[in-house]
Amino acid sequence: KKMNELLNETHRYSLGSGLLIASGLRPIELMCISTFKLDDDNKNNVIITGLAKKRQGMANSVSRPIVGISPEDFIEKVKLFRNSVDNPCKKSEKIARGLQRAFKAKFPVMAKMGRFLFSRKIYSELAFQKYAPPELRTNKPLYLSQILGHKNGDVQTSQAYSWIMS
């Protein structure tokens, strides 16, 4: 419910926080480095190219489900968000702080517990509950490593996103 409220806000940082939760993007990916296109093989997904934090053996793109809105609406809202901020790549630190403030305003209790990456943890839980295929319902870390773009079989990194409270 709170994510949908953020996605329908007119304030750019609230909208941006909603987009982070709906997609599992990192702020820098949302602001400028990633591109998005519809995944013709999966109507719930977008193909995200230009991932941050790439390590050896990791792909530069991933097909990822979008939670709470259609992939078409997601892509349009990303354009709206980016257009609302003049030159977002050059202002990334300022924008990240604005996104963090919007997240904290909507999730004050959770924001007190830790870093801003809770948006990625919320996404991971929502995506797993809604989209994990039956064969991965018992292996959450493997599913998360696939949709978050981690190295093939790297379930250790995805453990960080497996739990909202730690």
Per residue in 115-152, pLDDT tens?
A: 556 788 889 889 999 999 999 888 888 888 888 876 56
Q: Answer yes or no: is pLDDT of 165 > 50.
A: no
Determine the pLDDT at residue 76. 97
Quick one: pLDDT band at residue 166, thresholds 50, 70, 90? very low
- Beta-bridge partner residues of 48: 36, 62
Q: Between these two residues, 20 and 107, which has the higher pLDDT value?
A: 20
